Amino acid sequence: MQHHSSVEVRPVGRAISFRGLRLRGRRFAGLAGWDGKPLHPSLAAVPLGAAVAAAIFDVGSTLSSSRELYRAATLVLLVGQGFTALAVLTGWWERRRLTWPGSQVRGSVNAHGWMMLGFGAVTFVDLGLRRSVYPNSGHTPAIALALTLLVLALAVLGGTLGGALVFEDGLAVEGKGDERPEQSPGTAIGRD
């Protein structure tokens, strides 16, 4: 039985497209990445994922007295901390390049930055305890678990602030413009 419809169905495009990865024709902006393709969000995803994984591993280690899960949490925190340094550097560069001192958006960027610096500092303390005070623990010590859960909370709060900069303020979003139009074409946003 044939089905007749008055709606014409046309293919829209490819089922999978990698056009979001295209850099051709984009101006390279140093630490900030490429116009419309900033490096900071991609680098920042790694420490946030590491915080989630470490919390899962530490809770599992505490519940099961597993040394392997404790060591896994330590390793992912260490990897995440390396990417935190890169994310801080690129985030600082974008703050400097895309926002005006004294503006509302600069204030939001500063709040995000301080939250993430706190995230990095608490992670550093957590790693220091794991490597110097509890290197041979048979499971995650209570203080390490508490610090990892604090790291996770800071990651969620800081990531939420960072997401608001993109999705609410349009910072570093292609075609939305930034505060500093002399360096990035478009309309200014967030100026007081």
pLDDT, mean of residues 125-139: 97
What's the average model confidence in pLDDT over 141-146?
Answer: 98
Question: Encoding tokens for residue 82?
Answer: 């390396």
Tokens of 155: 């990651």
Nearest one of 74, 54, 43, 64 to 150, comparing CA atoms:
54
Question: For residue 8, what pLDDT band results from cuts at 50, 70 and 90?
Answer: low
pLDDT, position 189:
46
41 pLDDT above the threshold of 50: yes
**CA pair distance 37, 51, nearest whole angstrom:** 24
How far is residue 89's CA from residue 120's CA, in Å, rounded to a whole number? Answer: 12
Q: HSE, CB side, 13 Å, CA atoms: give it for residue 115.
A: 20
Q: Is the pTM of this model over 0.85?
A: no
What the block records as the tokens of 72 is 């896994």
| Mean pLDDT of all residues in 51-64 | 98
69-105 per-position pLDDT tens digit: 999 999 999 999 999 999 999 999 989 988 999 999 9
Cβ atoms 176, 98 nearer than 8 A: no
* 179 three-class SS: coil
CA atoms within 13 Å, Cβ hemisphere of 105: 25
Euclidean distance between the first and the last CA atom of the chain, given in angstroms as a whole number: 65
